[in-house]
Structure 1
Amino acid sequence: MVQQLLVGLLFVGAVGYLGRILYQSFKAKSTGCASGCGKCGAIDLNKIEAQIRKNEKF
């Protein structure tokens, strides 16, 4: 009985995790990107340049 309960809880957790990932893939973020991953669209070149300059000092 305890084993079945643990397996059931793991299954429900896995389904919930996959459901959350699926939901986030369809939920568009404020960047305007359709996938909502946040990797495209809002690239701040000034921030990247400042980080490169900071790393060059070392």
Structure 2
Amino acid sequence: MSTQLTERPVTPTEQDRTPLVRLRGVKKYFPITRGIIFQKRIGNVHAVDGVDLDI
């Protein structure tokens, strides 16, 4: 006589999940320069500015 137990996987609710990685206020700028020898920074390209991310 054998008894088999089958367990259902427990899925956490949305409130129980904690993110593995949390980023807040991420900013990434790339410089815009002018000139070949003496490169002068004339501005920035704002690729990302103030982004929040949870993974």
TM-score normalised according to structure 2 size? 0.24
Q: Which has the larger radius of gyration?
A: 2
TM-score normalised according to structure 1 size? 0.24
Higher helix share: 1
Q: Which has the higher contact order (CA 8 A, sep 6+)?
A: 2
